[in-house]
Amino acid sequence: MGGLYSAENERDSCGIGFVANICGEASHEILERALEVLERMTHRGAESADDKTGDGSGLLVQIPHEFYRKNVAALRDGAFPAPGTYGTGLLFLPRDRAAADAVEKKMDGLAADTGLKVLALRDVPVNHEAAGTIAKKAEPEVKQVFLALKEGGGRGKLDFLLYVFRKRLEKYAREELRNAACYMPSLSASTIVYKGMLMPRQLREYYPELTDGAVKTAVALVHSRFSTNTFPAWALSQPFRMIAHNGEINTVKGNRFWAAAREKLYAHPFFTDGAFRLDDILPVIEPDASDSASFDNMLELLVLSGRSLPHALM
């Protein structure tokens, strides 16, 4: 007799939560509720041997414009721009100071070449003691970058240029700095991601600004990771830029091969005027990414190239 237990009922996988105000009204309460949801999903994430390192936890929220406007004083170019006219995101830099300096120095020229300008580079307050011993060994330096268009243009142009800038910066770190650990959890004019190799309860401790009442959002997506086909890593914590996922895509290898094979067929009006090369955004699928991250990479490209989100998901 095996009792009531059956292995068929095992459901070890990540946990996902979503909180929203259906009227679109931003408040700190939405963020607080989302963090509570995340902390109640501690059992859905995995822990390492030190009992303080998680597979990863994270939060996606709308950009808290008023909070950043008050806390980013050192703008390089005039007053803080209006919501939706700038992009921002966290930047995970390598702990090696020389490599981090090289990435920072590259940003201004790369932004200018992409049709953007760097408004500010902010040191993100973090509590290093909140992370576990194992997580600290891989802990990046966390900055936040703010960018805007050099010249006029709409939201669609801004979003696509932010994407090209991010891909070019990560490609520079990978190829020129010999795989320096440079990663942007998000770079967007609408949302921002806070995440790390943390347990759910550690997220608000590690990023103390998340407890500031001025950080407001109308939507919040949280994720507690149980890694399957990749090891835990700061960059592989979720949410990603477009999605959060709680399963395993077993066809991932074939999907990646098909995506790479089709890169030669890519075409878009953005790359026809000679200002940019398609190679700037290749490979679309980030090397050493998880199955969920690979899915996110492809979805992001489809949406930014003009498809609706439902169409791209189909």
Q: Tell me how far apart the alpha carbons of residues 238 and 296 are, in angstroms, rounded to a whole number.
A: 11
Q: What angle do CA 211, 218, 42 make, to 5 degrees?
A: 55
Backbone angles phi, psi at 116, to 5 degrees: -120, 170
Neighbours of 2 (CB within 10 A): 6
Active site residue 14: yes
Tokens of 261: 């094979």
Tell how far CA 26 is from the center of its chain: 21
- Count CB atoms within 10 A of the CB of residue 40: 15
Cβ-contact 20, 220 below 8 angstroms: yes
CA 125 to chain CA centroid, Å, is 17
Q: How many CA atoms lie within 13 A of 14 on its CB side?
A: 27
- Residue by residue, DSSP assigns 106-156 as HHHHHHHHHTEEEEEEEEPP--GGGS-HHHHHTPPEEEEEEEEESS---HH
Pick the catalytic residue from 10, 14, 109, 202: 14
> Annotated active-site positions, please?
14
